[in-house]
Every structure is written in C-alpha cells, then in structure tokens.
Amino acid sequence: MSAREIHVEQLRCAPVSDLEVEIVERKGKGHPDSLIDGASEAVSRALCKYYLSKFGRVFHHNVDKGILVGGRSNPVFGGGEVIEPIFIMVAGRAISLIKEKDGVHEVPVGVLAQSAISEFLKSTLRFLDDKDVHIEYKVKQGSTDLVAIFDGGSKIPLGNDTSIGIGFAPLTPTENLVLKTEQMLNSPDLKKVLPEVGEDIKVMGYRREKKINLTVASAMISRLMPDASHYHSVVNDVQQSVEDLASRLTNLDVDVKVNAGDSPKLSVYYLTVTGTSAEAGDDGNTGRGNRHNGLITSMRQYSMEACAGKNPINHTGKIYNVLAQRAADKIVAEVKGVKEVYVRLLSRIGSPIDQPQVCSSAVVLEPGVSLSNVNGEISSILNEELANITSLTPLIIDGKVTLF
C-alpha cells in the first residue's frame, strides 16, 4: 500500500467562537428537508439490510435524489384536516436483479422503498395518517461503470465518485445551543409535558459578540389546541423551556423568540394538523437541509454533499463526511493545543476509499503551540481513521451515525 497523502496546516485566524458575528441553523426532524433526507436514507438502509439478509453482502445503490411536495391542509383550533396529501418521491439507482448459482433473484425494490418510507414517517410524525401522504419511487438499475467500480474492490472498496468530505470540531456555544434546542423540543420528555408541540421545529441562532438571539419556529398540533389562549400558553412554555436550557448550556446572554410569524390580530398562528409544515405547501429536497453533523453552518467550511441515500459501502460523498467528522472530534479530544480543527477529504473515483487524493487537516492552535507540536499526533489520527474506514459501514446501516 502506498503512503497516504496526509496534510496538516495551521490556520492563522480566530476560531468561529471568537468572531463578532455568528449565524447557525438547525432544521428539526419534522422539517420537510429533514423528512425527505430521512426517506432517502430509510430506503438505502432497507436495501442494505435486504441485500445482507438474502445474499450476505450489500449491492450497489444510490437513492439520494428525493423530493417532498407539500400538501394542503386546514388546521383550526380543536381540529382540522389534510385536504391534499403530502407527496414524497425517492429516486435513484439500485441492483434489482441478482444472479446466483440457483438462478436470477429479483429484489423487491419498490416494496422495500415504500415500506421503509412509510415506517420512517410513522416513527417521526406522531399525528401523520397514512392518508395524509402519497409515496412513490423511481429506482432503476445502476449504470454499468458504477456497478463495475462497486464490485471491483477487494477488502477496500473503490470510490463511487470524486467527492469532498469535511468535518470540524468543536462546536461553538452557539452551534451547541441551536442543536440542543431542537433536540430538546423534539425529545420524548418534552412531548410528554407539551404534546401540542409538533415535530417541525426550526432553530436559527445569531450571535453578536456576547449575545445570542434564538428564533424558534415550532409547529403546533391544532387538534390539541382548543383556542388561542391555550396556544399562547404553550408558546410561552416552549420559550421558558428553551431559556432554561440556554441557562444550563452557556453563560452568554440569550434572547428567545418563538413563532415570530404569528399575528394574533389577523388570527395567524403556526397551527398544523400533522406537526409538519409539509402538510401545507412547504417542500423539501434531499441534501438541502442540515449537513451531516445536524447543523447548517454557513460560517464554516463544509461539504454540500447529500449524505442521505448514498450507499454506505463506497460512496465517498457519504463515508468521507462521516469519517472527517469522527477524525475532527478525535483530534480536538486527544491533541492538546488544538483550539479548532477542520478535516478535508477528497476522493477519486475508482481509487480505494482508504487512499484519498488528500486527507487535509487545518488547525487553529492555542497561543504558544506550534504546528510541529501537533503534526505527528494529528497525522497519526488521520491515518488510523482511514485504515478503519470500512468499520463505518455497519454503523451507518444500523442508523448509529448522524447524517442530517
């Protein structure tokens, strides 16, 4: 095996947490973009599990093209209905005919796709009925060249694409607060206390020096809201919950605004029948939402690759993002003197995935620490993560890795 192209450089700039202005976003699990990400990934995982159970290996597939077209609804205090269903389609490529010694076997791609999407939606949205959504798929056989590349590796798969993966660490206090806010509002514990809170929650964080402004958009379940007074009470409870969380997570001054688009004078409230804005015209695309670490960090280096739906065997657009994040987390945790780190990976189609064109790390160092102090440790971590890259596949298939 040839030596890997490992690169470590120092960034002579302030970490993001020290900038005067910082902006970060999180789209919750019920947001249309998150829903279509989840649908695409659910199909990929279902295919992987079927292939493994029937044939002992995963075959080529990429189902990372998905669209969610919002429906139409009429939510009212104490009730409401979905008038036109949400439309979801996942498209891509997958091996559907497999030749074995005992003959040719057909993979029920359509059944697997529709079942996987349906189960994902049921596990994500508490108030979505089957009649509220229409599911379709367009999954065809993969191209000859990509299938050949997929099957061409030995122990180490050959890259499906020339792709970029990027990870960074640590999260700033603002990023951490945005992430934890949505997770808290969508947690089972909060839903027990405030079942009126839907799953479509978007959190936007804006920090100016030492003050954070959090804007929280939280869909509310109309059937559980008897009137406007009850709605306002729940909004106040949500705000209090976020303020309590903020006080535990950061010493910065945090101002919270929940459902800023409401207009009581015009009787405009963020009411939904199903808990997601997808029921009433908001659309979604695979890869348009959160990056693989669960955030949209416009002030960071990051990859635009859609992780959801890509195969977890040799598609570096997925695997390299996961690996880069794991490596970045490990560097910050284990290498003293590193204040902030970015890990950048670039693959080349047809090359072994453990041999990227470059595996580059860029670090912001603590005062008094030189690059020579940390170069060796960082390079060792990067080499180790690449050597163990195939261990990521079962974690992804089992849903143990954050992808959006």
What is the C-alpha separation between 176 and 249, in angstroms, rounded? 8
Q: Which two tokens stand for residue 132?
A: 């509220």
Q: What is the DSSP-derived secondary structure letter of residue 263?
A: B
The token pair at 202 is 């978007």
Q: Provide, for the chain, the percentages of residues in helix, strand and coil under a 3-state DSSP scheme, each rounded to the nearest 5.
A: 35, 30, 35
| Prediction pTM value | 0.95
For residue 137, the surrounding DSSP H or E stretch is strand 133-140
Q: Is residue 155 part of a domain?
A: no
- Identify whether 179 is part of a domain: yes
Please check whether residue 184 lies inside any domain of the structure: yes
Domain presence at residue 192? yes
Residue 252 in tokens? 């910065």
Residues of the chain with pLDDT under 50: none
pLDDT of residue 3: 86
What is the chain's length? 404
Range of the domain at 250: 16-26+171-277
Contact 340, 19 (CB under 8 A): no
What's the pLDDT score for residue 143? 67
At which residue do the structure tokens 């688009």 appear? 261
CATH for 211: 3.30.300.340
Q: Please state, in angstroms and rounded to a whole number, the distance separating the CA atoms of residues 4 and 248.
A: 43
Residue 43 inside a domain? The answer is no
157 assigned to some structural domain: no
State residue 404's pLDDT score: 96
**302 domain-assigned:** no
State the Cα–Cα distance between residues 353 and 344, nearest whole angstrom.
Answer: 14
Question: Within a domain: residue 152?
Answer: no
Collapse the DSSP code of 136 into the 3-class scheme (helix H, G, I; strand E, B; otherwise coil) and give the result.
strand
> Are the C-beta atoms of 195 and 39 separated by less than 8 Å?
no
Neighbours of 106 (CB within 10 A): 8
Question: Among 272, 290, 109, which Cα is nearest to 204's?
Answer: 290
pLDDT at residue 142, rounded to an integer:
72
Provide the number of structural domains found in the chain.
1
The proportion of the chain whose per-residue pLDDT surpasses 90, expressed as a percent, equals 94
